[in-house]
Structure 1
Amino acid sequence: MCKVVIFTRVSTRIQDNQRQVNDLNEIAGRRGWNVEKVFCEQISGATSNKNRGELVAMLDYISVNHIEKVMVTELSRLGRDTVQVLEVIERLNESGVSLYIDNYNIETLTSDGKINAMSQFMVTILAEVARMERRTIRERMESGYVNYINAGGRVGRKPGYHKTADIMQVEYTEELRLLRKGISLRNVSKLTGTSVNTLRKCKSLL
């Protein structure tokens, strides 16, 4: 039976990976693939690969457990930076592991383990499109923000508002866990997407 792992990613802690997991488990069942492990990540897809804990763990796992395929619902779940995505695919190719991308029903390797040239070409194009879409969304958000400010809009918290220590303990559980391990503010910020200033406040609670 084909041994596979599932990899999912959402950008924030308020989003849920479960739909991706359920969809991919169903597909694996239909195809007779055995899901050996599920990796769920909650981090921006633009984060550097080396700072993505679940991605690194997944790559380490497949290298020692004879995994044949990595399943994702769409390419953007693997990442949103073209170079970073292609770096992961190259790592998978070197390990003889095929990447299955569900929404396009394609794999990066053929059934005999050779590189699927057409799918590799498609992956490169799709990753670049995803990067361009992300840049367009960011530019629109920045434009909307500027227009709102120019129209007299106010941003930020209400004067005098601050989060209590109890609220921060609940809201920033992962950040506090990483800080307790001695990871630097800058690296925790990269891993979680939380600002360094907020992390300084978190650190004061330790």
Structure 2
Amino acid sequence: MKAVIYARVSSTTDRQNTERQIADLTKYAEYKEMEISKIFEEKISGAKKNVERPVFVEAMNFCKTNKVDILLVSELSRLGRNAFEVLETVKQLVDEGINLYMQKEQFTLLDDEGKPSMFAPIMIATLSTCAQLERENIKFRLNSGRQLYIEKGGKLGRKEGSKKTTEQKQEEYKQVLKELKRGTSIRKVAKLCDVSVSTVQRLKAEFNL
């Protein structure tokens, strides 16, 4: 059985990574004796529409063109934050005869005969709608809290003095800057200095290197 892993985190910084998702789904695939055809990793907000998530689109196309048997994701939200988009993705998978496994929900879309159970669409619609409502509630509470904080005289944004000075950056990233001055490629600098590619790109632009 051929499987594809799609892993996504919302943050484009180093605060989040896809390692845990990939490790857990790989273990599941090995346990089920699946052959992992390819692993797709993406750092992009789940609030983006599916068509605006290039790696996700690539993963879906790969599954279709390579006759992949099952798509493995860590949870339903990896397929999108919008209930309608999640259902559209599920429909595409069903139409192509591609199964779906969601680790958090412990749910598999198709049965042994390759057909979705009569409860599968209902369950997915319910889960995705509840998740979307919860996100909207959290967003409302956060915005309400911020507004109350501002009304009481609070100020949002960085605290004064929290932003690093040019001198501090030069000292902290001196090796990065040194490699950039040598003409070392951005990806190689990131690897050599153990920092993210985005950090190197930001420093390169800031110091005109």
* Correspondence for 2:151: 150
Q: Is the 8 A contact 2:71 2:101 kept in 1?
A: yes
| AA at the equivalent of 1:7 | Y
* Correspondence for 1:28: 29
Instruction: Give CA deviations for 1:32-57 in whole Å, capped at 9, x if unaligned.
Output: 11111111121111211110011101
Q: Is 2:15 the partner of 1:10?
A: no
**Whole-Å separation in 1 of the counterparts to 2:196 and 2:152:** 34
1:119-134 to structure 2, matched below 5 A, reads: 119-134=120-135
**Whole-Å separation in 2 of the counterparts to 1:45 and 1:75:** 11
Secondary structure at 2:41 match in 1? strand
**1:115, distance to aligned residue in structure 2 (A):** 2.2
**Whole-Å separation in 2 of the counterparts to 1:147 and 1:119:** 42
**Whole-Å separation in 2 of the counterparts to 1:73 and 1:53:** 19
Give the total of aligned pairs.
181
**Whole-Å separation in 1 of the counterparts to 2:131 and 2:119:** 18
1:16-95 to structure 2, matched below 5 A, reads: 16-95=17-96
TM-score by length of 1: 0.76
**Whole-Å separation in 2 of the counterparts to 1:3 and 1:82:** 27
Which structure 1 residue ranges, 4+ long, deviate > 3 Å from structure 2? 157-167, 169-174
Q: Is the 8 A contact 2:49 2:80 kept in 1?
A: no
**Whole-Å separation in 1 of the counterparts to 2:113 and 2:69:** 11
| AA at the equivalent of 1:64 | T
Structure 1's 163 and 3: CA in aligned 2 closer, same or farther, altered over 3 A?
A: farther
Percent identity for Structure 1 against Structure 2:
34
Structure 1's 47 and 163: CA in aligned 2 closer, same or farther, altered over 3 A?
A: farther
Structure 1's 140 and 50: CA in aligned 2 closer, same or farther, altered over 3 A?
A: same
Bigger Rg, which one? 2
> Cα RMSD over matched residues?
2.9
**Whole-Å separation in 2 of the counterparts to 1:140 and 1:46:** 18
Gaps of at least 5 residues in structure 2 are 174-185
**Whole-Å separation in 2 of the counterparts to 1:53 and 1:43:** 9
Gaps of at least 5 residues in structure 1 are 178-201
**1:156, distance to aligned residue in structure 2 (A):** 2.4
Structure 1's 163 and 47: CA in aligned 2 closer, same or farther, altered over 3 A?
A: farther
| AA at the equivalent of 2:2 | K
Structure 1's 133 and 47: CA in aligned 2 closer, same or farther, altered over 3 A?
A: same
**Whole-Å separation in 1 of the counterparts to 2:105 and 2:71:** 14
TM-score by length of 2: 0.75
Q: Is the 8 A contact 1:9 1:78 kept in 2?
A: no
